[in-house]
Amino acid sequence: MKTLTQKLVVLSILCFGTLTTAYADDDIQEMESVAKGLGLITLEDAKTKALAAKPGVVKDAELENRKFGKGWDYEFEIVDADGHEWDVNIDAKTGAVSGTSRDWF
């Protein structure tokens, strides 16, 4: 049987691995390069706005070109304090929250 310390270590590793930001450094650099070239808000500014809309921990972030040439969105996956996952979209030009929805899976 595992000791309490072993269980806490395993739990810490699982939580840390699940709740840390999931994008790699090269993804961040690419997002920042595209954003700068197109005159969009920074990833950090978008992240701040997303967390203001839905407090929690950012699990993943992407910069997506909307279909039909209508602009760009930052898409964040956020895990709230209750463990629920949310998708928060931030308009990459204006910084406005363009959508918030809960992941049900």
Q: If pLDDT is split at 50, 70 and 90, which confidence band does 85 have?
A: very high
CATH for the stretch 21-102: 3.10.450.40
> How is the chain split among helix, strand and coil, in percent rounded to 5?
40, 30, 30
Q: If pLDDT is split at 50, 70 and 90, which confidence band does 105 have?
A: low
The domain spans of the chain are 21-102
pTM confidence score: 0.72
Tens of pLDDT, residue by residue over 17-37, are 333 344 455 688 888 998 999
Q: What is the mean pLDDT of residues 57-75?
A: 89
Distance CA 3, CA 61 (A): 37
- Classify the C-alpha dihedral 10-16-22-26 as positive or negative: negative
Provide the total of helices (H) and of strands (E) in the chain, helices listed first: 3, 4
| Residues linked to residue 63 through DSSP beta bridges, in sequence order | 74
